[in-house]
Chains A and B, each alone.
Chain A
């Protein structure tokens, strides 16, 4: 059974800092990995998707990397801002024996990020 762990559980940083959020997964046969942002009481906003064959993806100040063999992904946030304060969730989709996917997302518990001015 796929298990996803995110470290740290919470992080508080001053504005302007570069930071790294970590995600690890137990089964390396993943189809893809997705990073989400969730504001309190709100829905999930997709930030980045990394396909199983890719090593990284970038969007603005965000960069996500994927190392399938070690079962790890990192989300790098450059020059953090108070508006980045949210919970960040990592989710993986397993590949099935045929190389496709049943589409099931397995989530980590999330990292609660607070960026203070």
Chain B
């Protein structure tokens, strides 16, 4: 089944403890992206990648890192999480070209205490 897989689905952590949220897609998509969703603010892009080793900042990149060493994986790293990073995170991927839309993962609900 074609899908975007995020892990973990739920995570509670403490301030300052480094964490990684994994994202993997099995569709050989070029584009991958991370979004966070917050009440009243909607979905905002954190980082995106147009292909292996090509990444760039989205609208809210502060406090996050990403890497794209393989086409299928696009992990999101929080080096020193803070409570304002408590959010619902989504990974998404798409193929290149006009006719292709994004496929989203099921989301990771992160709570930083």
Partners in one complex: yes
Question: Does B22 make an interface contact (CB < 8 A)?
Answer: no
CA distance A46 to B93 in the complex (A): 12
Residues of A within 8 A of B50 (CB): 102-103
Q: What are the residues of chain B within 8 A of A91 when measuring CB–CB?
A: 43, 102
Q: A43 to B91: give the CA distance in the assembly, Å.
A: 10
Question: Which label, helix, strand, loop or mixed, suits the secondary structure of the B interface?
Answer: strand
Annotate B81-113 by CB proximity to A: 1 below 8 A, 0 otherwise: 000000010101010101111111111010000
Chain A, interface size category, equals 20 to 34
Q: Is B58 an interface residue (CB 8 A)?
A: yes
19 A-B pairs besides A43-B90, A89-B43 with CB distance below 8 A are A32-B101, A34-B101, A41-B88, A43-B107, A44-B92, A44-B104, A46-B104, A51-B98, A52-B98, A102-B48, A102-B50, A104-B45, A104-B58, A105-B33, A105-B45, A105-B92, A107-B42, A107-B43, A109-B42
Interface range for B: 20 to 34
